[in-house]
């Protein structure tokens, strides 16, 4: 019987599929680290109070990238190139979601609107990350090889999501509410489409590495498309609501170290 647990178990037990999984994850986290570092450097003067939290967000993402690379090193595996069709971050950018890398490479300060877009986009993508890590903690939190890393990354993703909720609510009170809701909706609808495409691409690569029979690959693809249909109909709403989080000032301190992992 196919389940999230059996699927991920199969992926982490095979060196080739584990290598690809960790390489994709490490690359995405590294991109997130770079993006947040650039945004922190370009925050407009009137919003400089956000810069330390954005720096912390980026430092966490960099740490996650190092954790995935450390998992590879422990198996004696080098990272492998990430297939472009599995590059979640860049595919979102091509859809016009978030802040373009071209803008972040320039030295001009960002605008308040840019920061609203960044936080709204992050609220959507961090929801996806937090949900995925919660699933992995449920099924693999006690795994001797990856359990500790999964718990650490999951806690960080929960912090990132809390930070996005809190800051967006503050900005809404300051008059950005309509922009926030518009960008949240646009980002969520684009994200669920990109997530479907990336999931299909990743499973296609995994299927070839693990020699899945055609019926199994077809069943997984149908499940991914079914999830997209649900999210397109109503599931995307969970990505756009805002509520004050239990974790307040979640990125107000120094990032937690990862001794022995990164």
Instruction: Report the CATH number at residue 202.
Output: 1.20.1260.10
Q: Does residue 52 sit in helix, strand or coil?
A: helix
Look at residue 251 and tell me if it is in a domain: no
The total domain count for the chain is 1
Helix (H, G, I), strand (E, B) or coil at 130: helix
Residue 100 · residue 118 · CB < 8 Å: no
Q: Are 102 and 94 in contact (CB under 8 A)?
A: no
Per-residue pLDDT tens over the stretch 55-75 = 999 999 999 999 999 999 999
Q: Band of the pLDDT at 258, cuts 50, 70, 90?
A: low
Residues sharing a CB contact under 8 Å with residue 57, sequence separation 6 or more, in sequence order? 36, 122, 160, 163, 251
255 pLDDT band, cuts 50/70/90, is low
Instruction: Determine, yes or no, domain membership for 262.
Output: no
What is the percentage of the chain residues whose pLDDT exceeds 90?
Answer: 90
Q: Which two tokens stand for residue 81?
A: 């190139």
pLDDT classification of 252: cutoffs 50, 70, 90? confident
Rounded mean pLDDT, 209-238: 96
User: Which residues constitute the domain of residue 65?
Assistant: 4-239
With a threshold of 0.85, does the pTM exceed it?
yes
**Interval 119-130 mean pLDDT:** 97
39 band by pLDDT with thresholds 50, 70 and 90: very high
- What per-residue confidence (pLDDT) applies to 259? 62
Please check whether residue 165 lies inside any domain of the structure: yes
Q: Are 23 and 41 in contact (CB under 8 A)?
A: no
Q: Is residue 246 part of a domain?
A: no
The answer on pLDDT for 30 being more than 60 is: yes
Can you give the pLDDT at residue 3? 81
Q: Which one, of 35, 32, 122, lies nearest residue 68 by Cα?
A: 32
259, part of any domain: no
Q: What is the mean pLDDT of the chain?
A: 94
Kindly report, residue by residue over 148-181, the tens digit of the pLDDT.
999 999 999 999 999 999 999 999 999 999 999 9
105 pLDDT more than 70: yes
- Residue 160 makes CB contacts below 8 A (sequence gap 6+) with 57, 60, 122, 126, 129, 130, 250, 251
- Residues 62 and 29 sit within 8 Å (Cβ to Cβ): yes
How far is the C-alpha of 118 from the C-alpha of 50, rounded, in Å?
12
Separation of CA 95 from chain center: 16
Contact yes or no for 99/110 (Cβ under 8 A): yes
* 113 is a domain residue: yes
Alpha helices in 141-213 (DSSP H): 147-171, 177-210
Alpha-helical regions (H) of 211-248:
214-233
Q: What is the dihedral of CA 221, 130, 120, 203, to 10 degrees?
A: -20
Position 96 scores a pLDDT of 85
In a domain, 207, yes or no: yes
């Amino acid at each position: 019987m196919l389940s999230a647990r059996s699927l991920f178990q199969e992926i982490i037990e095979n060196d080739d599929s584990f290598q690809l999984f960790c390489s994709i994850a490490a690359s995405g986290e590294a991109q997130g680290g770079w993006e947040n570092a650039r945004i922190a450097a370009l925050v407009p003067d009137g919003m400089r109070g956000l810069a330390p939290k954005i720096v912390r967000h980026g430092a966490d993402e960099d740490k996650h990238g190092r954790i995935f690379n450390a998992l590879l090193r422990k198996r004696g595996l080098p990272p492998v190139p990430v297939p472009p069709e599995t590059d979640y971050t860049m595919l979102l950018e091509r859809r016009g979601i978030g802040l373009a890398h071209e803008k972040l490479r320039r030295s001009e300060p960002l605008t308040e609107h840019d920061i609203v877009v960044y936080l709204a986009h992050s609220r959507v993508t961090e929801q996806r990350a937090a949900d995925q890590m919660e699933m992995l903690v449920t099924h693999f939190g006690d795994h001797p090889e990856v359990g500790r890393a999964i718990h650490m990354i999951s806690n960080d993703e929960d912090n990132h999501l809390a930070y996005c909720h809190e800051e967006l609510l503050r900005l809404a009170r300051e008059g950005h509410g309509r922009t926030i809701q518009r960008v949240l909706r646009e980002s969520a609808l684009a994200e669920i489409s990109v997530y479907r495409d990336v999931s299909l691409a990743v499973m296609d690569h995994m299927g070839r590495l693990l020699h899945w029979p055609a019926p199994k690959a077809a069943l997984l693809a149908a499940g991914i498309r079914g999830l997209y249909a649900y999210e397109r109909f109503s599931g995307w709403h969970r990505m756009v609501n805002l509520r004050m989080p239990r974790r307040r000032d979640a990125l107000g301190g120094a990032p937690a170290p990862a001794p022995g992992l990164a």
